[in-house]
């Protein structure tokens, strides 16, 4: 598929899962977002651009640390943003705004923000360096730009079993896009290619134990994995689920089912001479 078709596929996938994206099985997103305020070391009055904001998990983690500032959160999926806006309203936060935008063509003026964040988003586009440069263009010179990506080995044997079964069912199973930025070296190279200075990478473990194999299915069904099995009809999907959960159950321990998730949080600084994105 071409780039426009790919974007439409991504949008449709996340629109479809938006209402269930914040399930407990996916709490690694919250664990990763909780690290961001310390990474940015906010003074409290910054204006922050949050790109690929999803259901607002990073935005809502940062906003309480910006009592005199704002978070502007953008995402391609209206469904995800609707969930984010509802959560923000329920939390009583008044310093977050949400806008539907393509992160590769944001309408903001250059140098409009003090900092920018993009959690688990850059790897969805083919031209990652160009997209990161475009994000950085919206940040004032000297401002911080931060990304969060999955570390190599994340999802471990659970994902390997899932992808193997996807292949056995004759479904396309391209390598996950996040593998392109799954090492410290890849992230440093990305930031340097985008023209960002002083890139630093920190590795964090944000995994946990799932109660059982059914909770792993929640991870599959409520996140991007579900797009791979969307072509299955109801009967084949039920058989796929039964077969896959049977093999996953063999990995259960006395304490639960390990969900190994590592993240790489990379921080860079927009130099004075970075060209517009």
Is residue 47's pLDDT more than 90?
A: yes
| Percent of the residues in the chain that have a pLDDT greater than 90, as a whole number | 86
Distance between CA atoms of residues 76 and 15, nearest Å: 9
Contact by Cβ (8 Å): 259, 28? yes
**43 in helix, strand or coil?**
coil
Task: Report which of 103, 110, 105 is spatially closest to residue 137, judged by C-alpha positions.
Answer: 110
pLDDT at 167: 95
Number of domains in the chain: 1
Q: What is the domain extent for residue 86?
A: 3-154+176-208+262-269
Distance between CA atoms of residues 55 and 86, nearest Å: 9
CA distance between the termini of the chain: 25
Across 28-66, b (16+ Cβ under 10 Å) vs e yields bbebbbebbeebbebeeebbbbbbbbbbbbbbbbbbebb
Q: Is residue 233 part of a domain?
A: no
Sign of CA dihedral 159, 162, 168, 170: negative
Q: Is residue 130 part of a domain?
A: yes
Q: Is residue 228 part of a domain?
A: no
Is residue 274's pLDDT more than 70?
A: no
Distance between CA atoms of residues 185 and 237, nearest Å: 38
Give the residue carrying structure tokens 């003026």: 109
Give the residue carrying structure tokens 């072509």: 231
Contact by Cβ (8 Å): 198, 268? yes
Arithmetic mean of pLDDT, 1-18: 82
- Pull the structure tokens for residue 196: 């960002």
Band (pLDDT 50/70/90 cuts) for residue 266 is: very high
Greatest C-alpha distance within the chain: 58
Contact by Cβ (8 Å): 132, 247? no
Q: pLDDT digits over 188-208, tens only? A: 999 999 999 999 999 999 999
Task: Report which of 183, 121, 175, 177 is spatially closest to residue 147, judged by C-alpha positions.
Answer: 121
Q: pLDDT digits over 223-234, tens only? A: 878 889 989 999
Distance between CA atoms of residues 108 and 157, nearest Å: 42
- Calculate the alpha carbon distances from 110 to 47, 52, 106, 138, 192 in Å: 13, 18, 10, 4, 20
Q: Is residue 92 part of a domain?
A: yes
Give the residue carrying structure tokens 């070391």: 41
Q: pLDDT digits over 78-100, tens only? A: 999 999 999 999 999 999 999 99
CATH of the domain at 45: 3.40.50.150
Q: Is residue 57 part of a domain?
A: yes
The mean of the pLDDT values for the chain is: 94
Is residue 255's pLDDT more than 60?
A: yes
Cβ neighbour number for residue 5 with a 10 Å cutoff: 9
Is residue 139's pLDDT more than 70?
A: yes
Q: Is residue 24 part of a domain?
A: yes
């Amino acid at each position: 598929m071409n780039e426009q078709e790919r974007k439409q596929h991504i949008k449709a996938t996340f629109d479809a899962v938006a209402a269930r994206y914040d399930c407990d099985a996916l709490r690694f997103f919250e664990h990763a977002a909780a690290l961001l305020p310390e990474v940015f070391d906010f003074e409290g009055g910054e204006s922050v651009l949050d790109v690929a904001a999803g259901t607002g998990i990073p935005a809502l983690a940062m906003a309480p640390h910006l009592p005199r500032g704002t978070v502007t959160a953008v995402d391609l999926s209206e469904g995800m943003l609707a969930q984010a806006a509802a959560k923000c309203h329920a939390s009583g936060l008044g310093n977050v705004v949400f806008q539907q935008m393509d992160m590769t063509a944001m309408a903001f003026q250059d140098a409009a923000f003090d900092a920018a964040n993009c959690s688990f988003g850059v790897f969805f586009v083919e031209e990652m360096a160009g997209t990161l440069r475009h994000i950085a263009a919206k940040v004032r010179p000297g401002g911080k730009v931060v990304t969060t990506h999955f570390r190599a080995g994340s999802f471990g044997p659970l994902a390997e079993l899932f992808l193997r079964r996807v292949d056995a069912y004759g479904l396309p199973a391209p390598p996950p896009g996040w593998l392109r930025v799954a090492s410290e070296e890849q992230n440093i190279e990305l930031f340097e290619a985008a023209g960002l200075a002083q890139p630093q990478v920190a590795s964090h473990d944000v995994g946990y134990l799932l109660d059982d194999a059914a909770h792993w299915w929640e991870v599959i069904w409520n996140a991007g994995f579900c797009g791979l099995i969307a072509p299955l009809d109801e009967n084949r999907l039920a058989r796929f689920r039964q077969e896959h959960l049977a093999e996953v159950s063999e990995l259960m321990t006395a304490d639960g089912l390990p969900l190994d998730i590592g993240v790489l949080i990379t921080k860079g600084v927009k130099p004075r001479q970075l060209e517009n994105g």
